[in-house]
Protein backbone atom coordinates (compact mmCIF):
# COMPACT_ATOMS: atom_id res chain seq x y z
CA UNK A 1 0.00 0.00 0.00
CA UNK A 2 2.61 2.54 1.04
CA UNK A 3 4.63 1.42 -1.98
CA UNK A 4 1.62 2.26 -4.09
CA UNK A 5 1.17 5.70 -2.57
CA UNK A 6 4.63 6.75 -3.64
CA UNK A 7 3.87 6.10 -7.28
CA UNK A 8 3.08 9.14 -9.37
CA UNK A 9 -0.40 9.41 -10.85
CA UNK A 10 0.92 11.23 -13.88
CA UNK A 11 4.41 11.03 -15.27
CA UNK A 12 5.43 13.31 -18.15
CA UNK A 13 8.86 12.85 -19.76
CA UNK A 14 10.59 14.93 -22.41
CA UNK A 15 7.28 16.24 -23.68
CA UNK A 16 7.44 18.35 -26.82
CA UNK A 17 4.61 20.12 -28.59
CA UNK A 18 5.53 21.90 -31.80
CA UNK A 19 2.90 23.64 -33.89
CA UNK A 20 3.61 24.04 -37.60
CA UNK A 21 3.05 27.70 -38.51
CA UNK A 22 3.33 29.35 -41.90
CA UNK A 23 6.06 31.85 -42.50
CA UNK A 24 5.92 33.01 -46.06
CA UNK A 25 5.78 29.84 -48.17
CA UNK A 26 7.37 27.70 -45.48
CA UNK A 27 6.03 25.88 -42.48
CA UNK A 28 8.25 26.22 -39.46
CA UNK A 29 7.76 24.65 -36.02
CA UNK A 30 6.58 26.88 -33.17
CA UNK A 31 8.06 25.19 -30.11
CA UNK A 32 5.25 25.83 -27.63
CA UNK A 33 6.49 23.15 -25.25
CA UNK A 34 10.05 21.95 -25.58
CA UNK A 35 11.27 19.01 -23.55
CA UNK A 36 9.38 19.19 -20.29
CA UNK A 37 9.31 16.51 -17.59
CA UNK A 38 7.35 16.41 -14.32
CA UNK A 39 5.28 14.15 -12.10
CA UNK A 40 2.06 14.59 -10.19
CA UNK A 41 1.24 12.37 -7.21
CA UNK A 42 -2.29 11.18 -6.44
CA UNK A 43 -4.23 13.88 -4.58
CA UNK A 44 -1.50 16.44 -5.19
CA UNK A 45 -1.76 19.93 -6.68
CA UNK A 46 0.99 21.06 -9.00
CA UNK A 47 0.80 24.77 -9.81
CA UNK A 48 2.01 25.90 -13.22
CA UNK A 49 3.00 29.54 -13.68
CA UNK A 50 4.72 31.74 -16.25
CA UNK A 51 3.95 34.66 -18.55
CA UNK A 52 1.23 34.29 -21.16
CA UNK A 53 2.37 32.36 -24.18
CA UNK A 54 4.95 30.32 -22.25
CA UNK A 55 3.05 27.11 -22.99
CA UNK A 56 0.96 26.40 -19.86
CA UNK A 57 -2.29 25.70 -21.70
CA UNK A 58 -0.44 23.65 -24.28
CA UNK A 59 1.05 21.45 -21.54
CA UNK A 60 -2.44 20.90 -20.07
CA UNK A 61 -4.03 20.08 -23.40
CA UNK A 62 -1.18 17.89 -24.56
CA UNK A 63 -1.15 15.65 -21.50
CA UNK A 64 -4.89 15.12 -21.98
CA UNK A 65 -3.96 14.35 -25.60
CA UNK A 66 -6.30 17.01 -26.91
CA UNK A 67 -3.21 17.71 -29.03
CA UNK A 68 -1.09 14.94 -30.48
CA UNK A 69 2.32 15.33 -28.79
CA UNK A 70 5.27 15.98 -31.09
CA UNK A 71 7.46 13.81 -28.89
CA UNK A 72 7.79 12.47 -25.37
CA UNK A 73 6.11 10.07 -23.05
CA UNK A 74 2.96 10.43 -20.93
CA UNK A 75 2.05 7.79 -18.37
CA UNK A 76 -1.06 7.84 -16.19
CA UNK A 77 -1.71 5.29 -13.43
CA UNK A 78 1.05 3.01 -14.76
CA UNK A 79 -0.46 3.02 -18.23
CA UNK A 80 1.57 4.63 -21.00
CA UNK A 81 -0.88 6.87 -22.87
CA UNK A 82 1.64 8.07 -25.38
CA UNK A 83 5.25 7.37 -26.19
CA UNK A 84 6.97 8.69 -29.28
CA UNK A 85 9.75 6.16 -28.71
CA UNK A 86 12.79 8.41 -28.27
CA UNK A 87 15.24 6.94 -25.79
CA UNK A 88 16.98 8.82 -22.99
CA UNK A 89 19.77 7.84 -20.62
CA UNK A 90 19.77 8.30 -16.83
CA UNK A 91 21.00 11.89 -17.11
CA UNK A 92 18.20 12.77 -19.49
CA UNK A 93 20.36 12.92 -22.61
CA UNK A 94 18.86 11.53 -25.76
CA UNK A 95 20.44 8.25 -26.90
CA UNK A 96 21.74 8.41 -30.45
CA UNK A 97 22.68 5.61 -32.82
CA UNK A 98 26.07 5.18 -34.53
CA UNK A 99 25.11 7.74 -37.18
CA UNK A 100 24.09 10.33 -34.60
CA UNK A 101 20.37 9.97 -35.24
CA UNK A 102 17.93 9.60 -32.31
CA UNK A 103 17.61 5.95 -31.43
CA UNK A 104 13.98 4.91 -31.45
CA UNK A 105 12.02 2.47 -29.33
CA UNK A 106 8.42 1.40 -29.78
CA UNK A 107 5.77 4.06 -30.42
CA UNK A 108 2.67 3.84 -28.18
CA UNK A 109 -0.67 5.58 -28.67
CA UNK A 110 -3.55 4.21 -26.63
CA UNK A 111 -7.22 4.90 -27.23
CA UNK A 112 -8.02 7.78 -24.87
CA UNK A 113 -11.74 7.19 -24.39
CA UNK A 114 -11.42 5.22 -21.11
CA UNK A 115 -8.98 7.84 -19.80
CA UNK A 116 -11.23 10.78 -20.65
CA UNK A 117 -13.21 9.65 -17.62
CA UNK A 118 -10.23 9.93 -15.32
CA UNK A 119 -8.64 13.08 -16.71
CA UNK A 120 -10.73 16.22 -16.98
CA UNK A 121 -10.24 19.90 -17.69
CA UNK A 122 -11.84 23.08 -16.30
CA UNK A 123 -11.39 26.26 -18.32
CA UNK A 124 -10.97 29.95 -17.58
CA UNK A 125 -13.97 31.35 -19.25
CA UNK A 126 -17.18 30.12 -17.70
CA UNK A 127 -19.01 32.24 -20.28
CA UNK A 128 -17.79 30.62 -23.45
CA UNK A 129 -17.11 27.06 -22.35
CA UNK A 130 -20.76 26.30 -21.60
CA UNK A 131 -23.43 26.06 -24.31
CA UNK A 132 -25.97 28.81 -23.50
CA UNK A 133 -28.83 26.83 -25.10
CA UNK A 134 -28.43 23.90 -22.74
CA UNK A 135 -29.93 23.63 -19.27
CA UNK A 136 -27.63 22.96 -16.35
CA UNK A 137 -28.99 19.42 -16.13
CA UNK A 138 -28.12 18.80 -19.79
CA UNK A 139 -24.64 20.26 -19.40
CA UNK A 140 -23.77 18.23 -16.31
CA UNK A 141 -25.53 15.10 -17.61
CA UNK A 142 -23.80 15.04 -21.00
CA UNK A 143 -20.59 13.32 -19.84
CA UNK A 144 -22.75 10.77 -17.99
CA UNK A 145 -24.35 9.95 -21.36
CA UNK A 146 -21.02 9.76 -23.19
CA UNK A 147 -19.61 7.26 -20.72
CA UNK A 148 -22.89 5.37 -19.99
CA UNK A 149 -22.71 6.08 -16.31
CA UNK A 150 -26.34 5.39 -15.32
CA UNK A 151 -28.97 2.68 -15.69
CA UNK A 152 -32.12 4.75 -16.07
CA UNK A 153 -33.47 8.30 -16.25
CA UNK A 154 -34.06 8.41 -12.52
CA UNK A 155 -30.49 7.50 -11.70
CA UNK A 156 -29.19 10.06 -14.18
CA UNK A 157 -31.20 12.80 -12.53
CA UNK A 158 -30.10 11.74 -9.08
CA UNK A 159 -26.48 11.83 -10.17
CA UNK A 160 -26.85 15.30 -11.66
CA UNK A 161 -28.50 16.63 -8.52
CA UNK A 162 -25.86 15.16 -6.26
CA UNK A 163 -23.12 16.69 -8.46
CA UNK A 164 -24.80 20.09 -8.26
CA UNK A 165 -24.96 19.72 -4.50
CA UNK A 166 -21.25 18.89 -4.39
CA UNK A 167 -20.44 22.23 -6.02
CA UNK A 168 -22.91 24.21 -3.93
CA UNK A 169 -25.82 24.46 -6.39
CA UNK A 170 -29.30 22.95 -5.98
CA UNK A 171 -32.18 21.25 -7.80
CA UNK A 172 -33.79 24.57 -8.60
CA UNK A 173 -30.72 25.47 -10.65
CA UNK A 174 -30.90 22.28 -12.74
CA UNK A 175 -33.66 23.47 -15.06
CA UNK A 176 -32.14 26.87 -15.77
CA UNK A 177 -29.88 27.86 -18.65
CA UNK A 178 -26.16 28.58 -18.20
CA UNK A 179 -26.52 32.21 -19.30
CA UNK A 180 -28.80 32.92 -16.34
CA UNK A 181 -25.93 32.42 -13.91
CA UNK A 182 -23.18 34.66 -12.57
CA UNK A 183 -19.51 33.96 -13.33
CA UNK A 184 -18.86 32.10 -10.10
CA UNK A 185 -21.94 29.92 -10.54
CA UNK A 186 -21.00 29.12 -14.13
CA UNK A 187 -17.58 28.04 -12.96
CA UNK A 188 -19.32 25.71 -10.49
CA UNK A 189 -21.39 24.27 -13.34
CA UNK A 190 -18.20 23.65 -15.33
CA UNK A 191 -16.66 21.90 -12.34
CA UNK A 192 -19.77 19.77 -11.73
CA UNK A 193 -19.53 18.68 -15.35
CA UNK A 194 -15.86 17.77 -14.94
CA UNK A 195 -16.67 15.82 -11.76
CA UNK A 196 -19.50 13.87 -13.41
CA UNK A 197 -17.18 11.14 -14.64
CA UNK A 198 -15.44 10.78 -11.27
CA UNK A 199 -11.96 11.84 -12.41
CA UNK A 200 -8.76 11.39 -10.43
CA UNK A 201 -7.02 14.24 -12.24
CA UNK A 202 -8.22 17.68 -13.36
CA UNK A 203 -6.36 20.31 -15.34
CA UNK A 204 -7.62 23.67 -14.04
CA UNK A 205 -6.64 26.17 -16.73
CA UNK A 206 -7.03 29.68 -15.28
CA UNK A 207 -10.18 28.30 -13.66
CA UNK A 208 -10.54 31.15 -11.14
CA UNK A 209 -8.82 33.92 -13.09
CA UNK A 210 -11.97 35.60 -14.39
CA UNK A 211 -13.73 35.66 -11.03
CA UNK A 212 -13.96 38.51 -8.53
CA UNK A 213 -11.82 37.86 -5.46
CA UNK A 214 -14.72 37.20 -3.10
CA UNK A 215 -16.12 34.59 -5.49
CA UNK A 216 -12.65 33.31 -6.35
CA UNK A 217 -12.17 32.39 -2.66
CA UNK A 218 -15.41 30.36 -2.76
CA UNK A 219 -14.23 28.38 -5.77
CA UNK A 220 -10.68 27.89 -4.43
CA UNK A 221 -12.10 26.49 -1.19
CA UNK A 222 -14.30 24.20 -3.22
CA UNK A 223 -11.30 22.84 -5.16
CA UNK A 224 -9.58 22.13 -1.85
CA UNK A 225 -12.65 20.45 -0.36
CA UNK A 226 -13.09 18.24 -3.42
CA UNK A 227 -9.46 17.20 -3.18
CA UNK A 228 -9.82 16.30 0.50
CA UNK A 229 -13.01 14.36 -0.14
CA UNK A 230 -12.28 12.69 -3.45
CA UNK A 231 -8.50 12.63 -3.59
CA UNK A 232 -8.36 14.41 -6.96
CA UNK A 233 -4.99 15.65 -8.23
CA UNK A 234 -4.82 19.02 -9.99
CA UNK A 235 -2.56 20.64 -12.51
CA UNK A 236 -3.44 24.19 -11.49
CA UNK A 237 -2.57 26.76 -14.16
CA UNK A 238 -2.92 30.42 -13.21
CA UNK A 239 -1.11 33.69 -13.61
CA UNK A 240 -1.89 34.95 -10.09
CA UNK A 241 1.07 33.65 -8.11
CA UNK A 242 -0.50 34.18 -4.69
CA UNK A 243 -3.51 32.11 -5.75
CA UNK A 244 -1.19 29.41 -7.07
CA UNK A 245 0.87 29.36 -3.89
CA UNK A 246 -2.28 29.13 -1.84
CA UNK A 247 -3.65 26.04 -3.58
CA UNK A 248 -0.49 24.20 -4.68
CA UNK A 249 1.71 21.62 -3.00
CA UNK A 250 4.42 22.19 -5.56
CA UNK A 251 4.92 24.88 -8.21
CA UNK A 252 6.56 24.68 -11.64
CA UNK A 253 7.76 27.81 -13.44
CA UNK A 254 7.78 27.86 -17.25
CA UNK A 255 9.42 30.25 -19.68
CA UNK A 256 9.22 30.03 -23.46
CA UNK A 257 8.15 26.39 -23.45
CA UNK A 258 10.83 25.28 -20.98
CA UNK A 259 10.72 24.37 -17.32
CA UNK A 260 12.89 26.80 -15.36
CA UNK A 261 12.29 25.72 -11.78
CA UNK A 262 10.13 23.36 -9.76
CA UNK A 263 9.88 23.00 -5.98
CA UNK A 264 7.53 22.76 -3.01
CA UNK A 265 5.20 25.76 -3.08
CA UNK A 266 6.48 27.55 0.02
CA UNK A 267 10.10 26.71 -0.81
CA UNK A 268 9.73 28.15 -4.32
CA UNK A 269 8.03 31.34 -3.12
CA UNK A 270 10.41 31.93 -0.19
CA UNK A 271 13.69 30.63 -1.60
CA UNK A 272 13.55 30.93 -5.37
CA UNK A 273 16.79 30.15 -7.20
CA UNK A 274 16.20 30.86 -10.88
CA UNK A 275 16.70 34.49 -12.02
CA UNK A 276 13.39 34.36 -13.87
CA UNK A 277 11.49 33.17 -10.79
CA UNK A 278 13.15 35.93 -8.76
CA UNK A 279 11.89 38.66 -11.03
CA UNK A 280 8.49 37.05 -11.44
CA UNK A 281 8.02 36.97 -7.68
CA UNK A 282 9.28 40.50 -7.13
CA UNK A 283 6.74 41.75 -9.67
CA UNK A 284 3.73 40.50 -7.68
CA UNK A 285 1.88 43.48 -6.24
CA UNK A 286 1.47 42.50 -2.58
CA UNK A 287 -1.89 43.57 -1.11
CA UNK A 288 -0.26 45.23 1.89
CA UNK A 289 0.74 48.91 1.85
CA UNK A 290 3.57 48.53 4.39
CA UNK A 291 5.22 45.71 2.42
CA UNK A 292 4.68 47.63 -0.80
CA UNK A 293 6.46 50.70 0.58
CA UNK A 294 9.56 48.66 1.38
CA UNK A 295 9.68 46.13 -1.41
CA UNK A 296 11.74 46.58 -4.48
CA UNK A 297 10.62 45.38 -7.88
CA UNK A 298 13.24 43.67 -10.02
CA UNK A 299 12.02 45.09 -13.28
CA UNK A 300 12.46 42.70 -16.20
CA UNK A 301 13.45 44.65 -19.28
CA UNK A 302 11.62 44.10 -22.52
CA UNK A 303 9.23 41.35 -23.55
CA UNK A 304 9.37 37.60 -23.91
CA UNK A 305 10.97 36.75 -27.29
CA UNK A 306 8.76 35.03 -29.85
CA UNK A 307 8.94 31.24 -29.65
CA UNK A 308 9.70 31.39 -33.37
CA UNK A 309 12.95 33.17 -32.54
CA UNK A 310 13.99 31.08 -29.56
CA UNK A 311 17.35 32.26 -28.17
CA UNK A 312 20.17 29.75 -28.39
CA UNK A 313 21.27 28.19 -25.12
CA UNK A 314 19.22 29.38 -22.15
CA UNK A 315 15.81 30.67 -23.29
CA UNK A 316 15.88 33.38 -20.61
CA UNK A 317 19.29 34.82 -21.45
CA UNK A 318 18.01 37.85 -23.43
CA UNK A 319 16.46 39.25 -20.23
CA UNK A 320 18.80 37.78 -17.62
CA UNK A 321 21.24 39.96 -15.70
CA UNK A 322 23.30 36.93 -14.65
CA UNK A 323 23.85 35.77 -18.23
CA UNK A 324 27.37 34.75 -19.26
CA UNK A 325 28.88 33.42 -22.46
CA UNK A 326 28.07 29.86 -21.58
CA UNK A 327 24.36 30.74 -21.38
CA UNK A 328 24.34 31.51 -25.12
CA UNK A 329 26.12 28.27 -26.01
CA UNK A 330 24.34 25.58 -24.11
CA UNK A 331 20.91 25.05 -22.64
CA UNK A 332 21.13 24.56 -18.85
CA UNK A 333 19.67 21.26 -17.65
CA UNK A 334 17.11 21.09 -14.85
CA UNK A 335 19.18 19.86 -11.91
CA UNK A 336 18.24 18.88 -8.37
CA UNK A 337 19.41 21.39 -5.74
CA UNK A 338 18.21 19.30 -2.81
CA UNK A 339 14.80 18.20 -1.49
CA UNK A 340 13.38 17.97 -4.97
CA UNK A 341 14.01 21.67 -5.65
CA UNK A 342 15.07 21.69 -9.28
CA UNK A 343 16.39 24.61 -11.30
CA UNK A 344 17.74 25.10 -14.82
CA UNK A 345 20.50 27.72 -14.64
CA UNK A 346 24.25 27.74 -15.19
CA UNK A 347 25.04 30.56 -12.82
CA UNK A 348 22.77 30.18 -9.81
Partner 1 sequence: MSEENNLLLEVDNLHTSFFTDAGEVKAVNGVTFNLEKGKTLGIVGESGSGKSVTAYSIMQILAETGRVVEGEIRYKGEDITKWDEKKLSKYRGEKVSIIFQDPMTSLNPVFTIGYQLKEAILLHTNKNKDEAWKRAVEMLTLVGVNEPESRMKQYPFELSGGMRQRVMIAMALCCEPDILIADEPTTALDVTIQAQILELMQDLQKKLGMAIIMVTHDLGVIASMCDEIIVMYGGRVCERGTADDIFYHPAHEYTKGLLRSIPTTENMNERLVPIGGTPINLLNMPKGCAFCPRCENAMKICLEEVPEEYQVGEHHRASCWMNVMDLYESEEAKA
Ligand X SMILES: Nc1ncnc2c1ncn2[C@@H]1O[C@H](COP(=O)(O)OP(=O)(O)O)[C@@H](O)[C@H]1O
| Interacting residue ranges for Mg ion, rule: CB under 5 A | 57
Cβ proximity to ligand SF4: between 192 and 327 the closer is 327
The secondary structure element, H or E, covering residue 25 is: none
- Between CA 97 and CA 340 the distance in angstroms is 32
287 binds, among Mg ion, ligand X, partner 1, none (CB under 5 to 8 A by kind): partner 1
Closest CA to 200 of 326, 13, 42: 42
Helix (H, G, I), strand (E, B) or coil at 240: coil
- Between CA 39 and CA 321 the distance in angstroms is 31
- Between CA 345 and CA 108 the distance in angstroms is 33
The least distance separating partner 1 from the CB of residue 220, rounded to whole angstroms, comes to 6
Identified binder of partner 1 from the candidate list 141, 245, 323, 331, rule CB under 8 A: 245
The least distance separating ligand SF4 from the CB of residue 279, rounded to whole angstroms, comes to 10
Segment interacting with ligand X (CB under 6 A) among 46-54, 73-81, 129-137, 159-167 = 46-54
- Between CA 46 and CA 53 the distance in angstroms is 19
- State yes or no: residue 52 binds ligand X (CB under 6 A): yes
Cβ proximity to ligand SF4: between 79 and 335 the closer is 335
Q: What are the distances in angstroms from CA 210 to CA 139, 187, 239? A: 21, 10, 11
- Between CA 11 and CA 231 the distance in angstroms is 17
Identified binder of ligand X from the candidate list 56, 186, 250, 319, rule CB under 6 A: 56
Task: For residue 340, give the DSSP letter.
Answer: T
- State yes or no: residue 316 binds ligand SF4 (CB under 6 A): yes
Number of residues written out for the chain: 348
267 binds, among partner 1, ligand SF4, Mg ion, none (CB under 5 to 8 A by kind): none
Residues numbered 125 to 154 that lie near ligand X (CB under 6 A) are none
Segment interacting with ligand X (CB under 6 A) among 56-64, 140-148, 275-283, 338-346 = 56-64
Identified binder of partner 1 from the candidate list 224, 267, 310, 318, rule CB under 8 A: 224
- State yes or no: residue 345 binds ligand SF4 (CB under 6 A): yes
Identified binder of partner 1 from the candidate list 279, 320, 327, 345, rule CB under 8 A: 279
76 binds, among Mg ion, ligand SF4, partner 1, none (CB under 5 to 8 A by kind): none
- State yes or no: residue 185 binds partner 1 (CB under 8 A): yes
- State yes or no: residue 53 binds ligand X (CB under 6 A): yes
Identified binder of partner 1 from the candidate list 91, 98, 172, 288, rule CB under 8 A: 288
Q: 90-117 as b/e, with b when 16 or more CB fall inside 10 Å?
A: eeeeeeeeeeeeeeeeeeeeeeeeebbb
- State yes or no: residue 23 binds partner 1 (CB under 8 A): no
- Between CA 164 and CA 188 the distance in angstroms is 8
- State yes or no: residue 10 binds ligand SF4 (CB under 6 A): no
- Between CA 214 and CA 231 the distance in angstroms is 25
- State yes or no: residue 239 binds partner 1 (CB under 8 A): yes
The least distance separating Mg ion from the CB of residue 348, rounded to whole angstroms, comes to 27
Closest CA to 40 of 10, 61, 13, 63: 10
- Between CA 179 and CA 342 the distance in angstroms is 44
Q: What are the distances in angstroms from CA 229 to CA 45, 198, 206, 226, 249? A: 14, 12, 22, 5, 17
The least distance separating ligand X from the CB of residue 52, rounded to whole angstroms, comes to 4
Residues near ligand X (CB under 6 A) are 19, 21, 30, 32, 50, 52-58, 307
- Residues near partner 1 (CB under 8 A): 51-52, 182-185, 212-218, 220-221, 224, 239, 241-243, 245-246, 266, 269, 279-280, 282-292, 297, 299-300, 303
Amino acid sequence: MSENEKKPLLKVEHLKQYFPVSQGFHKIPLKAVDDISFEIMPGETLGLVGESGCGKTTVGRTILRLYEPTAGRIAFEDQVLFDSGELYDEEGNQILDEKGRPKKGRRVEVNMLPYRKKMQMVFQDPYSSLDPRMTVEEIVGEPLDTHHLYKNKKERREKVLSLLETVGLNAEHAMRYAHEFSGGQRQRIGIARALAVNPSFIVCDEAVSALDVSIQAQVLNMFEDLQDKLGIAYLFIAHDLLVVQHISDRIAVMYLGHMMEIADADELMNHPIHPYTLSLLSAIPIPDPETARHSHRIILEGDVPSPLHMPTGCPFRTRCKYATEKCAMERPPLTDRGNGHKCACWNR
